[in-house]
């Protein structure tokens, strides 16, 4: 029996949202006008939770700072971000769940709408080598352009991105007898409905209602 295990990241494995926290961290560094940036960041986050986020507009907002600063500076900031903001959001319960899936699954990945620059080191902190994320475009000189490569890894786009990732590994959905996806968000309903074993993790109200209606397991990871 072969098993594929997929995890959402923000508010699923992380007890918080890395995308939102990264924005606040940049504001604290004076990269933006803090008051204006935090208000806009919060508005996007509220739209995400409501399932109404315009992902294209949000990505322009999210990726613009990557294009305005050198990769060297961004990497230094991210190291500090990991130490001061992310480490405390990685709980023992989340680590235990990851280790359980790694022990019983043939392939494990994080699948997140948040871009790879922000989430790559977080996946490494969990010991998960495979990351399917929104891909920021990188110029020939190694600097970010502020654009993305391929489709956003968001809502139904997560299925597209997982398909592309599996193809790169020479595999298909059909190669796995069991496919499982853990998520907290109504935005992930397309991928949750695609796998054979969806799991709602501390779900938002819409996802909780859907999970109860369809008898999906509900995991209160941070209860």
**Residue 138 pLDDT:** 95
Query: What pLDDT was estimated at residue 178?
Result: 98
Which residue of the set 10, 17, 184, 204 is catalytic? 10
**pLDDT value at position 24?**
86
Residue 220 is predicted with a pLDDT of: 92
Query: 172-195 burial, b for 16+ CB within 10 Å, e for fewer?
Result: eeeebeebbbbbbbbbbbebbebb
Question: Cβ–Cβ contacts within 10 Å for residue 160, how many?
Answer: 15
- Give phi and psi for 121, each to the nearest 5: -65, -25
Q: What is the pLDDT of residue 33?
A: 72
pLDDT, averaged per 10 consecutive residues of the chain (223 residues), comes to 96 94 88 78 88 91 91 96 96 97 98 97 98 96 94 97 98 97 97 98 96 97 80
User: Beta strand 197-201 with 130-138: parallel, antiparallel or unpaired?
Assistant: unpaired
- Residue 201's nearest CA partner among 181, 187, 178, 215 is 181
Instruction: Measure the CA–CA gap between 132 and 66, rounded to whole angstroms.
Output: 19
pTM equals: 0.95
Q: Is 8 a catalytic residue?
A: yes
Whether 10 sits among the annotated catalytic residues: the reply is yes
Would you list the domain boundaries of the chain?
1-223
Q: Would you say the C-alpha torsion 20, 24, 30, 34 has a positive or negative sign?
A: positive
CATH class entry, domain 1-223: alpha beta
The predicted structure's pLDDT at residue 223: 66
Structure tokens at 156: 């139904």
């Amino acid at each position: 029996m072969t098993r594929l295990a997929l995890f959402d990241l923000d508010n699923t494995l992380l007890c918080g949202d890395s995308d939102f926290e990264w924005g606040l961290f940049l504001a604290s560094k004076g990269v933006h006008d803090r008051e204006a940036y935090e208000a806009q960041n919060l508005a996007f986050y509220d739209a995400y939770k409501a399932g109404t986020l315009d992902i294209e507009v949000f990505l322009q907002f999210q990726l613009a700072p990557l294009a305005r600063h050198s990769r060297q500076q961004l990497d230094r900031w991210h190291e500090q971000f990991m130490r001061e903001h992310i480490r405390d959001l990685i709980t023992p319960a989340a680590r235990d769940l990851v280790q359980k899936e790694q022990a019983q699954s043939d392939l494990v990945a994080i699948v997140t709408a948040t871009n790879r620059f922000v989430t790559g080191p977080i996946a490494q902190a969990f010991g998960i080598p495979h990351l399917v994320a929104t891909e920021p475009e990188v110029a020939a000189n190694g600097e970010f352009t502020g654009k993305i490569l391929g489709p956003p890894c968001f809502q139904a786009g997560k299925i597209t991105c997982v398909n592309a990732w599996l193809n790169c590994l020479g595999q298909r959905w059909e190669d796995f007898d069991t496919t499982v996806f853990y998520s907290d968000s109504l935005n992930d309903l397309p991928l949750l409905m695609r796998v054979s074993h969806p799991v709602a993790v501390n779900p938002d109200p819409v996802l909780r209602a859907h999970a109860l209606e369809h008898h999906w397991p509900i995991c209160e990871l941070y209860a």
